Structure 1
Amino acid sequence: MKIHLTSVFVDDQAHALRFYTEALGFLKKHDVPVGAGGDRWLTVVSPEAPDGTELLLEPSAHPAVRPYRTALAEDGIPAASFSVDDVRAEYDRLRGLGVHFTQEPLETGAVTTAVLDDTCGNLIQIMQVR
């Protein structure tokens, strides 16, 4: 068994696609209209694993999403975690692009983490195992 797809809820799919591709560096994999409301089956992948796990940028219209995301954000809990080779270098690169971090790089044992605001309603952790 392996993970094929996971998702994050986003307020605006077009905005999320720009952030996840232009700032974070992911590649658009699927972009398929669904329903009459303008929602899309919109996924991105790592350029390092284009046939690997997809991240669905899922519309956040369901009423349960807002309280769920609000509770996570208020408690500082990331909705997702992405592995990077060098957290400090990625932190510097993303800060240079104007990305806001809620947690600067922090070493905890063999792991370094930082937490960013994806501008789409989520906190995202980047992490490096040393």
Structure 2
Amino acid sequence: MKIYITSVFVDDQAKAQRFYCDILGFTVKHDVPIGAHRWLTLVSPQQPEGPELLLEPSDHPAVGPYTAALVADGVPAHSFQVDDLAAEHVRLTKLGVMFTRDPMDAGPVRMAVLDDTCGNLIQLVEMTGATEG
């Protein structure tokens, strides 16, 4: 078994597509109109046949309270791996991305948390291999 699609709830699919593609660097895999919304999935250009990220409309009544509670508590909805967190932090900051947690060591990783402008906090992780001692 392997991960095929995972979703992130977004308040505006077009805005989310701009952020996730133009800022974070994902590419569109599927964009199929479905009523008022779209089946809009993205992939990493580094893994074009890898897991897809569905930009899921946040219309369901449970989504608002759920995502608001996560954001209020500073809990990221998802985690993306990067090769160089320091460079990615600089690049994204220059593009106007707001970080709620700057890069920090966290056991075997360095991590930071950003606001995706669509209702979520997203964690960026660089695998360092360091262990707590």
Q: 1:90 is matched with which residue: 82, 85, 88?
A: 88
CA distance in 2, matches of 1:22, 1:33: 21
Contiguous gaps of at least 5 residues in structure 2: 129-133
What is the alpha-carbon distance in structure 1 between the residues aligned to residue 119 and residue 106 of structure 2?
26
Report the alpha carbon displacement of residue 108 of structure 1 after superposing the two structures with TM.
1.6
- What is the distance in 2 between the residues matched to 1:88 and 1:114? 9
Match of 2:68 in 1: 70
Correspondence 1:6 to 2:19: no
Provide, for residues 47-79 of structure 1, a one-character-per-residue CA deviation record: whole Å limited to 9, x for no partner: 000010000000001100000001100111000
Q: Structure 1: which 5+ residue stretches go unaligned?
A: none
Distance 1:81 1:87 in 2: 13
Following TM superposition, the consecutive aligned residue runs of length 4 or more in structure 1 with deviations greater than 4 angstroms are: none
Question: Which amino acid letter does the alignment assign opposite residue 70 of structure 1?
Answer: A
Matches within 5 A, 1:33-52: 33-35=33-35, 38-52=36-50
Question: Following TM superposition, by how much is the alpha carbon of 1:87 offset from its aligned partner in structure 2, in angstroms?
Answer: 0.8
**What TM-score comes out, normalization by structure 2 length?**
0.95
Q: Counterpart amino acid of 2:84? A: D
Identical-pair percentage: 64
Structure-1 separation of matches of 2:51 and 2:99? 25
The TM-score, its normalising length taken from structure 1, stands at: 0.97
Cα RMSD (Å) of the superposition? 0.6
- What SS is found at the alignment partner of 2:119? coil
Number of aligned positions between the proteins: 128
Look up the match of 2:23.
23
> CA–CA distance in 2 between the matches of 1:85 and 1:128?
6
Structure 2 Cα separation of the partners of residues 26 and 92 of structure 1:
18
